Structure 1
Amino acid sequence: MTENELSYKIIGSALEVHRNLGVGLLENAYEQALAYELKKSGFNVKQQLYLPLKYKEVNIENAYKIDLLVENKVVIEIKSTLDVHPIFHSQLLTYLKLTNLKLGLLINFNTPLIKDGIHRIVNNL
């Protein structure tokens, strides 16, 4: 399955979570619910994945944390905020570059229409 096909399925699952939970919860609630929906659909999902970083000759353990990684192809960063700041986009792009992955989804569940809270971030896709 391609990254684009995966993102379509992920967005469908995010819609289901938003439809059932609404707005106003903590990020962890949305993360757990989305992971549940994706696993129920048969996807390999890793949660709260800490990854190392090599900086010059130093290995930094647990340098950054990915909220969800689906099928080892799509990084999902979950937010529950009033505003999506540009730094969130930069953060996700950095994660994509560090993992050499091509597609990330920034999903802010704290919005009346979930479609307004979904942002695709690409790294050489």
Structure 2
Amino acid sequence: MKYKELTEKIIGCAMKVHAAMGNGFQEVIYQRCLAVEMQKQGLGFVREMEMPIFYDGIDVGMRRVDFFIEGAIMVELKAIINLEDVHLAQTMNYLEAYKMEIGLLINFGSRSLQFKRVHNNKMV
């Protein structure tokens, strides 16, 4: 699997954050904690990078993705009770819009950390 080591390292960072913080905080708190942990692990990332969304070649708005890591992985965070199909669809749409091959959807809001590797099938 492409990017397996990198995604495992990111998930490991998220697990450390969840183990230390538990569930119940706002998403921004987990985002800040994850940034600290990834920095400690030597991962290069950009946080809340704004990117334009295009429709039919026309710029129709902006979207901030929680993290772009090592220029290869997009990470979308949630702090909700359970991930639902709509969150997976959102992540898949971002991958397609940003022409990224793989992303992670990570949820800190449940008792146990939830995560999904999301692949952009249009790039395979």
TM-score for the superposition, normalised by structure 2: 0.89
In structure 1, the gaps of 5 or more residues are none
Alignment-mate amino acid for residue 55 of structure 2: Y
Which position in structure 1 is the counterpart of 2:72?
A: 73
CA deviations 1:17-39 (Å, max 9, x no partner) are 01110110000000111111112
Superposed CA RMSD in Å reads 1.4
Alignment-mate amino acid for residue 118 of structure 1: F
Alignment-mate amino acid for residue 37 of structure 1: E
**1:40 and 2:40 equivalent?**
yes
Asked if 1 retains the 8 angstrom alpha-carbon contact of 2:53 and 2:61, the reply is yes
From 101, 117, 121, give the equivalent of 1:120. 117
Which position in structure 1 is the counterpart of 2:23?
A: 23
CA deviations 1:20-60 (Å, max 9, x no partner) are 10110000000111111112211111111110123235324
Alignment-mate amino acid for residue 50 of structure 2: Y
TM-score for the superposition, normalised by structure 1: 0.89
**1:91 and 2:90 equivalent?**
yes
Counting matched residue pairs gives 121
The runs of at least 4 consecutive aligned structure 1 residues that moved more than 6 Å come to none
CA deviations 1:59-101 (Å, max 9, x no partner) are 2452x11011101111111111112121110110011111111
Residues of 1 paired with 2:56 and 2:8: CA distance? 38
Residues of 1 paired with 2:80 and 2:55: CA distance? 31
Secondary structure at the counterpart of residue 92 of structure 1: helix
Secondary structure at the counterpart of residue 89 of structure 1: helix
Residues of 2 paired with 1:71 and 1:107: CA distance? 17
Secondary structure at the counterpart of residue 78 of structure 1: strand
State the identity %: 30
State the 1:105 CA deviation. 0.9
Asked if 1 retains the 8 angstrom alpha-carbon contact of 2:106 and 2:115, the reply is yes
